[in-house]
Structure 1
Amino acid sequence: MDSADDSRQRSWTTNQIRPTERFDYYREVICQAFMKMTPEPPAEPGFSANGQSIALGPGALNRVAVFSPHRNERTLADVKAAERRGFYLNYRLAGRSQVQQAGLDMGVSPGQACIIDTDRPFSTVPHAAPLTSVASFWMPAESLCERLGPSFDIKPARLSDDPYVGPLITETARTLNANALRMPSDEAERLFGVLLDLVALGVSRTSRSGVSESSSVADATTLAVKRAIEVRLDQPGLKVADLAAAVGVSERYVHMLLARSGTTFREYIMQRRLDGVAANLRDPAFASRDIGVVAFSWGFADLSHFSRSFKKRFGMRPRDWRAL
């Protein structure tokens, strides 16, 4: 196991293992580190795999990338040997696979997400591809049950299909996967809590008729919109339409959500970009970088407009801010 600087992270790789022993290492170490599984040896040679686990409060984000795809099964014996019951929200990153559980056969493609019960046997069968990769969010059973009730039967489902919360689930999963280690641990844990709320909503049997207007989903959608903005701040021509498409809501709804949180699209973009530049200018790692280059990296296309906006926000020119 390779130790990372961040105490929240653990990682594994077969790169340092002899080629003839890599699959055994994957089966006995990587698979067991995440969830007891019984993989079948791949037909193709050259097997390699990487795994990473990031703590998220009561849960975790587990990433697995496998070259030479193969069938992976959680048998009844694997289920009985497990210490805890939970669920996996599997957000597919690369390669397509079939997930089979409880008589349901789900095809899952990149960008889609499905939920799997670890207390029931299941299997995953990848389609032919040089690489399969998944971001798998471990959700303790108690974390979901407290949101749904202890008697609620959570069945396997492709949650990304839900017309209301599916886009919110996938955008939140994508954002958390991309930024889990960049965010402070408490912020990552809060975002994981939002993902739990959305998953609970997605698997519930309640009517979808008023879902898009409920306050809990409105809050989650606002967060999803803001997260979508964060990862696109370097795009000078960022438009409301881009955010609406990413989150799966209308442009009007994006405007309404931001107004609900006391801002507008233009104001929020400007605030986050200026905050980013200001932080970089105080960071020693950016000391030798030209101010214009820093501004461009945050999506500013007009340096005069940037300088005026910076002075209006912080009461001084960027060069004076850096000199403090």
Structure 2
Amino acid sequence: MAQRTVLVVLFDDVQSLDVTGPVEVFAGAEKCAPGTYRIRTASLDGAPVRTSSGLTLVPDQALTGAPEPHTLLVPGGQGTRSPDPRLTDWLRGHGPRARRLVSVCTGAVLLAAAGLLDGRRATTHWAYCDKLARDHPAVDVDPDPIYVRDGHVATSAGVTSGIDLALALVEEDVGRDVALTVARHLVVFLRRPGNQAQFSAQLAAQTACREPLREVQQWITEHPGADLGVESLAARARLSPRHFARAFLAETGTTPGRYVDRVRLEHARRLLEDTADGVEEISRASGYGTPEAMRRAFVKALGTSPAEYRRRFRPAPVH
């Protein structure tokens, strides 16, 4: 197996975790399977850079003398807001040469500025998706997933999603066993699929201010298979159904029914991805009752059936 060079671009005000998260994943894979990865870091002139959190990172070399990489990784951070034009020029000239082009967080902004995302689907941190779409209309910006892969280009939502993307790349390059070992060492999930939303149902909705409503939100999350009708939830909150529905919408920004739908879909997706349970068992555990009801929910929300979703996003074991 040929060694893959991973070149990480550094610049002032880079976000440190966007760098160190993926680097730890690739370095962990190299320890498990020596000769797999060669990791290099480089800044424009080879000088140390100061991250947005105040840490100083010392690169291996200058970008001008950096080896041609298999994987070119561009992190994000405050430094992407007003990047050095020399960096954008370097990416424009060298990005197309990489076998794999990867960005973390607002590193996608640098790739877009260099014209490397034109005509491609991409994502970035949720707070910058609208701006990326406005500034670069040739880029098909998807604000929902934690990472997106379009051909040899992969973009991620930022921070911990850079670790998810790096683990997915390691699994592709070296196999599931190595990726699993690295994930266990880092105490993270082996694989959050790229299509997973940047926000869970609990984060996408606002947290209710009043304690009874917060308790109901938690109850829904922990008991997706229970009776989650408005009457039952209202009784748990000790409110009338009408008062409960109005208060829930006012404090969370969504109706009880929509919140329950999203929690159940999220729960079913996790079971399809992470377990070997049958569709009928999962439909009951997730509150759908029948496989047909779950199938209709999946088709409506995701455009695919539960069986096809599992085929796509639950990888076969690597022996």
Q: What is the TM-score normalised by the length of structure 2?
A: 0.30
Report which of the two has the higher share of strand.
Answer: 1
Q: TM-score, normalised by structure 1?
A: 0.30
Q: Which structure shows the bigger proportion of residues in helix conformation?
A: 2
